Amino acid sequence: MKKNYLFPNSFKPVGVALTTIALIALIIWVCLETSPEFKMPALINGDLFSEGKYFCMADCGLLTFIIPVLITGLIFIGFSKEKIEDEFVKSIREQCLVWATYCAAILLVIFTLTIYSLSYLYAIYSIFPLFLILFIIKFRIELHRANKGGEK
């Protein structure tokens, strides 16, 4: 029994829209050099055990909202079916996933050895989006190469 874990092709434009919105918000956040604060529901707050609260409204920055939207958009782009999804495309997808995993692991080691304090947290927080971006870029390049080779 073959299982298909990919999203339908119609999810790709939704992913592009979410990624674009998140990247624009991220650029604005970087340019402003300050993060607007807002309240967001949270299950665990830093004072959970001292106050005995299991649900509270926590102070959050814009980055808390941007990164999950970016990751969702990248997942929709990277894991949506192609218009023609055959065994060859699946093979390319698998090879690119392995390649992106190796790159992300190397980046993780480099970040761990060279970055400290709060910057390390930001670097680790960026690993998964970087993994998805590397996968998408490599997958698109390999698909383009395969299509070029088939046209000759």
SS3 assignment, position 52: coil
pLDDT at 152: 47
| Total count of domains within the chain | 2
Compute how many other C-beta atoms are within 10 angstroms of the C-beta atom of residue 49: 9
Burial classification of residue 36, based on how many CB atoms lie within 10 Å of its CB (0-12 exposed, 13-18 middle, 19 or more buried): exposed
Q: What is the distance between the alpha carbons of residues 35 and 125, in angstroms, rounded to a whole number?
A: 17
Same domain, 92 and 62: no
Q: What is the distance between the alpha carbons of residues 104 and 108, in angstroms, rounded to a whole number?
A: 6
Tell me the pLDDT of the chain averaged across its residues: 86
pLDDT at 44: 63
Tens of pLDDT, residue by residue over 29-83, are 888 777 677 777 777 655 545 555 667 777 777 778 888 999 999 999 999 999 9
Q: Residue 86 in contact with residue 147, Cβ under 8 Å?
A: no
Same domain, 53 and 95: no
State which residues form the domain around 21.
1-81
Same domain, 77 and 8: yes
Same domain, 61 and 104: no
Residue ending a domain, among 64, 81, 98, is 81
